[in-house]
Structure 1
Amino acid sequence: MKALFLAGGMGTRLRPLTNQIPKPMVPVMVRPLLERTMTKLKGYGIEQIVLSTCYQPQQIEEYFGDGGRLGLKIEYIREDIPLGTGGAIKNTEKFFDGPFIVFNSDILCDINIEELIRFHRSKSAVATIAVTQVDNPSMYGVIEFDRDDYIVSFKEKPHPSEITSNYINAGIYVFEPDVLREIPSGRAVSVEREVFPSLLQKGYQIAVYKGGSYWMDIGTPAKYLQAHKDILSGRCKIPEADYTSNIIFTGKNSKIHPHARIIGPVYIGEHAEIGAFATIGPYTVIGNHCVIGRGSKVAGSIVWDKVTVDSGARLIDTIVADNCRIHRNMEFCKTVYTQQVSHPMAM
């Protein structure tokens, strides 16, 4: 089975982090989210990937190449203009002659893909939609289904009084090729608002898969920060982490001064240096090639690669992008800091 990743979004809600990088390339524990998801798929035996790109596609193509470095075979298709989720899927029709998996590329989840595929086959449905439960579904597309797990209706952002289900579309699907034939060509199409309701109206069976206990759309800085806290706490686990340790991961050639204070859980990348009397954590990620100066404090924060935090600086619940420098004694709280904006942005 092949997998399709919809990786063309501009990541508007995640700006300024996505001003210079496409959203699927935003790092999760130092590695791009897209890489983490594709590596997970490889563990389930899915090695043929199609990437549908639009915004800054060259960054994605240059990083992944043909996929050989990851033991994958990757093919690309670019959108000249945004085609929506349905249009992007239709645009990849030539790659698929059997059932395939579709992923929105900004999703972090623990869904068992093998179980999802097995469930889809057992339901003889044209499509299976993975769903997740949320406390307040009024901001999402709500899915109603029967006792046999077949969808009976879709409600887009219902009024609280209209809510009869708290299950929403998780952005992960298994499609039969019939779905591709039902998507209009030559224009932007929403698979959620147009294609799925149309399939239902035409009598096709669409199943819902309720497996998985963790799901997060990292579409905003606050959710991006929360996703890291969930990983650090073990609510959503990553394979390289040691959840019995105060420092769940330390990359090769990193140096922690004996007088530094580490308050776990903390993740530290490769070639990082933590200075004397610096305090790191809790719930903190330090990227590759970072230098954290003497007496500084970094807590509840995500620091990307090649960042320097000078002595006495303080970062609390803050995201710092690649190649930034936090100068001596500067303080940031609940801030997104990049060198591409004139002023740090509050979350």
Structure 2
Amino acid sequence: MTQARKGATDVDAVVLVGGKGTRLRPLTLSAPKPMLPTAGVPFLEHLLSRIRAAGMTHVVLGTSYKAETFTEYFGDGSAHGLEIEYVVEDSPLGTGGAIRNVADRLRHDTAMIFNGDILSGVDLGDLLSTHRRTSADVTLHLVKVADPRAFGSVPTGKDGRVQAFLEKTNSPPTDQINAGCYVFSRAALEDIPAGQVVSVERETFPGLLAAGARVFGHVDSTYWLDLGTPAAFVRGSADLVLGTAPTAALPGPTGASLVLPGATVADDAILTAGTTIGAGASVAAGAHVTQSVVFADAQIGAGARVENSVIGAGARIGADAIVVDAVIGDGAVVGDRCELLSGVRVWPGVQLPDGGVRFSADA
């Protein structure tokens, strides 16, 4: 066991889970994004499993939207081997403001900050080791991506010290981007203005650089995914089931599919590419479900094809229906032979009649 892992017990974990998840609607109308079923359990459970495995036991959740759903599920954290406290934002404070808002709950001189919608394979012990080795005020996890143009870039010197925080550009000077996980010294965290809306990317980090603070990057090329869109959410869940993304909370073995207790799947139905079938759900004869997330008590009809989609709790997909790259809200009904393609979203409780929506001309 490395020195970093031994020392992780004196590090507070802070997870920011206050966002409304508007890009994932209608799924987030009933639950915050970190509480959506992802590879069989709420996404936050996967993140907490990695925090616990790294040796951190005290976790502070910064909540806002539907804050009660977190406390109802996780309670004091003891069932997960953790001690969890909650801080609720009365109004959105931005990432920097949310970090500062939990300061009075911290117990140690070091805090590791997580965005609650990032799925990452970074070695948390190595990240902490970098922070300590460099005597940093703040250390950022930076991940190398194939195409950094869609992100702000963060160049570092040979010693790993951060040189700048740059906005999106067509010609980024580096392939390193901010991966949304930070290690703060308590002093640097408490320097963020309290009770104000603060952007950590646009205000806190540039301000630290301007003040000559020791801001370093921990750079790697591990698995990294922002689960903010339906397509990314589906991919992240599938990667957890397949074992491509790391977790200690998967409620079953890795493989082509994950079928939760109480679900029924016909013998000739086909489940592939990391599909999850939720508790109490059913998949009828001849159905084919590929890289999709089927929530609890949903029904997939005979001969239906579901690909790269999310099927909400209690929703019903009719016989021979085709659902591709779609989000179907809780309790919605997609009639027999309907075709839903290319990013369509069906709101909770909506009922589409048999053959009522089609992309092809044949009936």
TM, length-normalised to structure 2: 0.85
Indicate if the aligned counterparts of 1:27 and 1:304 stay in contact, CA closer than 8 A. no
- Residue 28 of structure 1: aligned partner: 38
| Counterpart pick for 1:150 among 151, 158, 161 | 161
- Residue 134 of structure 1: aligned partner: 145
Indicate if the aligned counterparts of 1:30 and 1:304 stay in contact, CA closer than 8 A. no
Mean Cα deviation higher: 223-232 or 104-113: 223-232
- Residue 282 of structure 2: aligned partner: 273
- Residue 115 of structure 1: aligned partner: 126
1:307 aligns with 2:307: no
For structure 2, list consecutive stretches of 5 or more residues without a partner in the other structure.
1-10, 358-363
Q: Which residue identity is paired with 1:30?
A: G
Describe the superposition over 1:249-287 as per-residue Cα deviations: whole angstroms up to 9, x where unpaired: 222233222233444543333333221222222x23333
Indicate if the aligned counterparts of 1:30 and 1:305 stay in contact, CA closer than 8 A. no
Cα distance between partner residues in 2 of 1:201 and 1:263: 51
Indicate if the aligned counterparts of 1:221 and 1:336 stay in contact, CA closer than 8 A. no
Q: What is the root-mean-square deviation of aligned Cα atoms in Å? A: 2.4
1:93 aligns with 2:103: yes
- Residue 56 of structure 2: aligned partner: 46
- Residue 292 of structure 1: aligned partner: 300
Q: Which residue identity is paired with 2:72?
A: E
What is the 5 A alignment of 1:165-314?
A: 165-231=174-240, 234-239=243-248, 240=250, 242-243=253-254, 245=255, 247-281=256-290, 283-314=291-322
Indicate if the aligned counterparts of 1:144 and 1:151 stay in contact, CA closer than 8 A. yes
Q: Which residue identity is paired with 2:80?
A: L
Cα distance between partner residues in 2 of 1:206 and 1:103: 17
What is the 5 A alignment of 1:317-332?
A: 317-332=325-340
Indicate if the aligned counterparts of 1:108 and 1:217 stay in contact, CA closer than 8 A. yes
- Residue 71 of structure 2: aligned partner: 61
Cα distance between partner residues in 1 of 2:204 and 2:272: 49
Cα distance between partner residues in 2 of 1:171 and 1:268: 30
Identical pairs, percent: 34
What SS class does the counterpart of residue 210 from structure 1 fall into? strand
1:233 offset after TM fit, Å?
Answer: 5.1
- Residue 84 of structure 1: aligned partner: 94
1:3 aligns with 2:37: no
Describe the superposition over 1:12-58 as per-residue Cα deviations: whole angstroms up to 9, x where unpaired: 33333323322222332232211211122112222211011122212
Alpha-carbon spacing, 1:307–1:237, altered in 2? closer, same or farther (3 Å): farther
1:99 offset after TM fit, Å?
Answer: 0.3
Q: Which residue identity is paired with 1:32?
A: P
Describe the superposition over 1:56-77 as per-residue Cα deviations: whole angstroms up to 9, x where unpaired: 2122222222222322211111
TM, length-normalised to structure 1: 0.89
Q: Which residue identity is paired with 2:27?
A: L
- Residue 102 of structure 1: aligned partner: 113
Q: Which has the higher strand share?
A: 1
